[in-house]
Amino acid sequence: MSVAQIIQELPKLTALDLIAVRRKLMELADENEEVALCDAMALEGAQLLDQMEAEDEG
């Protein structure tokens, strides 16, 4: 099954099935160092933006 076929089938899944898919994807991402590094960098960037917005409001 191709990635395109998998993506096409996702809307047909139940909410519980989607949760299971999301959990598995997160599990696989946690096992991949590159993905974990990207996640950490994205989190750091989001936290910096939150801090900048808080400073602008204050």
Give the per-residue pLDDT at 8: 96
Secondary structure letter of residue 10 according to DSSP: G
Separation between Cα atoms, residue 23 and residue 10, nearest integer Å: 14
Question: Is 22 within 8 Å of 13 (Cβ atoms)?
Answer: no
Per-residue pLDDT tens over the stretch 14-39: 999 999 999 998 888 888 888 888 88
pTM over 0.75: no
Task: Name the pLDDT band for 6 (thresholds 50, 70, 90).
Answer: very high
> What pLDDT is attached to residue 26?
85
What is the structure's pLDDT at 34?
A: 87
